[in-house]
Amino acid sequence: MENCPIVGEAFVLAGRIWKVRDVDEERKIIYVNPVKNNCIPHWNGSGGHIHTKIIQRIGQILREDTQYSYLQPKASQVIDDARFIARETGILQKSIIPYTERSFYLCPWVGSKTLQTIKNLLTCGLKASLRIYSVFEGNNYLQITSDLSVAEFTDELSKLQINFNDPDMVLPKNQVPRVDKYDKMIPDKLLRVAFLHNELDLKVAFEVLKGL
């Protein structure tokens, strides 16, 4: 869960609905009772990561013309429409799509963990070198605004080298992510290193950027 539910709130966990009867914030324990409820409960989270293999398979579906006999007509039409848009925009052939003179879309066809790492790199460790103003994250793409043109951006990227063990590459200097239950007992420096190695994929993300 990204946020702690309040007393009386219902949520889904392990396929069942639970109602919060008490919350021990100090010990990070939620006391619940199972409930039967026909109403759709609040989902307090964003789900897990999407693997790169899934994203690449989606790209393959968009490239091919296979018709899936088990789909309903409306679902087949959605795929056909998506194929048309993907081919018209060029995202199947290139990872960078220009938007304005100093803004472009980055569509690297990678999983959510790698994409998040790329975003963190561009907003932290590489922001100054690439003269980036902003990075907006969409569904499996990034919109980047920089003082560099696309050609200058990729050229500068090809020259960069980074320290893969430096949390400053992916985190603001004062940010200390607390992901697990007992993180408050761990020194901030170690938490930043743990976040770098456990929650992100820096080497793969940097390889993707260097290959643009």
**Predicted structure pTM score:** 0.79
- Name the pairing type of β-strands 103-106 and 132-137: unpaired
Per-residue pLDDT of the chain (212 residues; tens, 9 = 90+): 556 777 888 877 777 788 888 988 777 788 998 887 656 555 555 567 899 999 999 999 999 999 999 999 999 999 999 999 999 999 999 999 999 888 999 999 999 999 999 999 999 999 999 999 999 998 889 999 999 999 999 999 999 999 999 999 999 988 998 878 788 889 999 999 999 999 999 999 999 999 98
Residue keyed to tokens 């989270």: 45
- The span from the CA of 188 to the CA of 178, in Å, is 9
DSSP H helices in 64-149:
73-89, 112-123
Q: What are phi and psi of 17, to 5 degrees?
A: -100, 130
In contact, 138 and 129? CB cutoff 8 Å = no
- The span from the CA of 18 to the CA of 83, in Å, is 41
- The span from the CA of 50 to the CA of 113, in Å, is 7
Predicted local confidence at residue 47, as pLDDT: 62
Predicted local confidence at residue 185, as pLDDT: 87
In contact, 123 and 136? CB cutoff 8 Å = no
Predicted local confidence at residue 60, as pLDDT: 96
CB atoms within 10 A of CB 117: 25
C-alpha angle 170/100/127, rounded to 5°? 20
Q: What are 189's two structure tokens? A: 């420096």
Predicted local confidence at residue 37, as pLDDT: 64
Give Cβ neighbours of residue 60 (< 8 Å, ≥ 6 apart). none
In contact, 143 and 135? CB cutoff 8 Å = yes
3-state secondary structure of 84: helix
- Buried (b) or exposed (e) across 90-106, using 16+ Cβ within 10 A? ebeeebbbeeeebebbb
Which amino acid is it at 116? Q
Q: What are 47's two structure tokens? A: 């789900």
